[in-house]
Amino acid sequence: MAAILPSRRSVLATLALTAGTVALSGTGIANAFTQAALDPAKPRTKPVVFVVGDSTSSAYQQSERPRAGWGQALPLLLGPQATVFDYAWSGASSKSFADAGLLDRALALMQPGDYLLISFGHNDEKVADPARGTLPDSTFKEYLSRYIDGAKARGGKPVLVTPVERRRFDSFGMARDSHGAYPQAVRELAAASGTPLVDLTASSKELWQQLGPEGTKSHFLFLSPGEHPQYPQGSEDNTHFQAAGALAVARLVARELQSKEIVPPGYFLNIDGGIDPLLGMFWPAERPIDIPVTLDVGPGRTFATVQSAVDSVPSNSLQRTVIRIQPGTYREAVRVPSNKPRISFIGQGSRPEDVLLVYNNAAGTPKPDGSGNFGTSGSASVRIDGPDFVARNLTFSNDFDEAANMGIKDRQAVALHITADRSVLTNVRCLGNQDTLLVNSPGAGVPARFYFKGCYVEGDVDFIFGRGTAVFSDCEIKSLDRASTTNNGYVTAGSLDLSIKYGYLFDQCRFVSDAAANSVHLGRPWHSGGDPRAVAQVLVRDSWLGAHISGTPWTDMSGFSWREARFHEYNNRGPGAQVTLDRPQLPGAEAGNFTVRTYLQGTDGWAPQLAGSTADCSVVPSEVAA
């Protein structure tokens, strides 16, 4: 059975009634679904290929991988001259898509020179459904004409695409037509209006015939139970594609766009290239068509505190909630529980320093209710347990004053404690001293993955620690100066269960400090609770190491030898990157097995590093640049 998702048909029906803004009731507030702020008038440096259509062309989210639409695979075939924005929606017909206001949204984003690929038919055929059904010789053509005229009015180039064939074979193994008169209606409209045509109905039927009844199963969503974690009970679907099928159909579209000179020469450079679609395709956290709930925090806004905004989010929501935090200091302990997934914290300042989430508990700080001290994990200024968390452009801090609290024995003070699997943090700062950033998981042996991109983390002792899997890409890691000439602390204290292969990866990072040379260790093995199976795994690769890094950068902890941990370096540079016998180097033959992709992909193929790349069809067009 596939992952449980909101019904596209029910949401389409609601959107058709409201044609824009949807208010949620039952939460005590009116939460508006609003599109991210766009500037459609801002000139782009390259044209965008817009895709509008139904489930066969739409982009799918990570929870539905490997299901994919051909529009989602199209970026894999493009050269550098253009990009793709897939605005197709499952369950939509030409009528319901337009009636819901989605055509208007797509057209508002278009600029002169953009393309609009228009592919409907599957759901227009459902004439018994008044919200979706159209008649091939009248209303179907009338609705499609609205797409054509709208694209031309924006200076765009409309392209009609006949609906891709379903997997239908007769008893003799011959591929069958499944769309009745609708493909011919598209052909007639293309001829009458002078609109370029991609006859995907004909080319896909020919491909299915070549592959045959059994060969097509690898293209459609036929999955054995347990083959993919998103579909534990398997799948048998004769309409929708898995990655290989989406790519094959995208190739049919690209070939015809190219052979008919609908696009300039060289647009598609990879049509016949060897591509692994499961590795190359990007599945975003949510579909491009989905509109998030947006909440505003700050002076004069709906919420005065971050926690009050979090508290307002319904439990177990399947839609993203974007919490926009205005510049300022928010002195509060923030908790996002595990039953509140898909929450984003987005700082609204020009720099991450402009939005500060801070508190000052330490491990030895007594709880107000007298039940004991907070403990290390409980000291966190911010704790995130809800999966699919996003943070961008803000600062997490714990400003507990160690010098002023020498009477407290346990002075570990966590700024951010995160256990939320599939979390992405970009342009975020984490500030503290001992135990600044706790990258954890819900339990020993339970994986949780975090992607830190372009972030800054500072501290002194074990300031990146825990049993999670964390990738730090293009980050700055600063060790604070404890005024020692010999020991100014330890960057990491990993505690990864032996059953989990990947712990911490520092890729293209900078390790900096004002501390004395040769006085900071890269890490030590933290066996939490004395657990012998909690064996750190840390790789620092392709990074710059300052002179503060010790010539023997790994050291023992609590009686456990660093040599028994999984510590390695690879291809580092800088004054602190000398290679000695006490610095295990990852063999070159193994380097391809320890990358951003391998650390993060898990069993579900998560690949957040592809967001914003050429593979990403969910990028808002106004943000596309060369």
Burial readout 194-231 (b: 16 or more C-beta within 10 A, e: otherwise)? ebbbbbbbbbbbebbbebeeeebbebbbbbeeeebebb
- What architecture is domain 306-609? 3 Solenoid (2.160)
Residue 214 and residue 228: Cα distance in Å, rounded? 20
Tokens of 55: 């489930």
Domain edges within the chain: 8-284+612-623, 306-609
Structure confidence at residue 22 (pLDDT): 30
Structure confidence at residue 270 (pLDDT): 83
| Positive/negative CA dihedral, 350, 348, 292, 104 | negative
Q: Nearest CA to 569 among 460, 551, 449, 535?
A: 551
Question: Which secondary-structure segment (H or E) carries 537?
Answer: strand 537-541
Cβ within 8 Å of residue 502, ≥6 positions away: 469, 496, 537, 594, 598, 599
Mean pLDDT of residues grouped by 10 in the chain (626 residues)?
37 36 27 40 86 98 97 96 95 98 96 97 97 98 98 98 98 96 98 98 98 97 95 96 98 97 91 91 95 96 98 97 98 98 98 98 96 96 98 98 92 98 98 98 96 98 98 98 97 97 98 98 96 97 98 97 97 96 96 98 97 90 47
Angle 113-83-90 from CA coordinates, rounded to 5°? 100
Structure confidence at residue 44 (pLDDT): 84
**Residue 193, Cβ density class (10 Å: 0-12 exposed, 13-18 middle, ≥19 buried):** middle
Residue 520 DSSP label: B
At 383 the three-state DSSP class reads strand
Structure confidence at residue 151 (pLDDT): 98
Residue 444 and residue 530: Cα distance in Å, rounded? 13
Residue 194 and residue 197: Cα distance in Å, rounded? 9
Alpha carbon 157 to chain centroid, angstroms: 30
Q: Which CATH class is domain 8-284+612-623?
A: alpha beta
Question: DSSP labels for 461-508?
Answer: EEEEEESSEEEEES-EEEEPP-S-SS---EEEEE--BTT----EEEES
* Cβ neighbours around 4 below 10 Å, total: 7
Asked if residue 293 lies in contact with residue 67, where contact means CB atoms within 8 angstroms, the answer is no
**Could you list the active site residues?**
55, 236, 240
Q: Nearest CA to 342 among 290, 301, 299?
A: 290
Look up the pTM and report it: 0.92
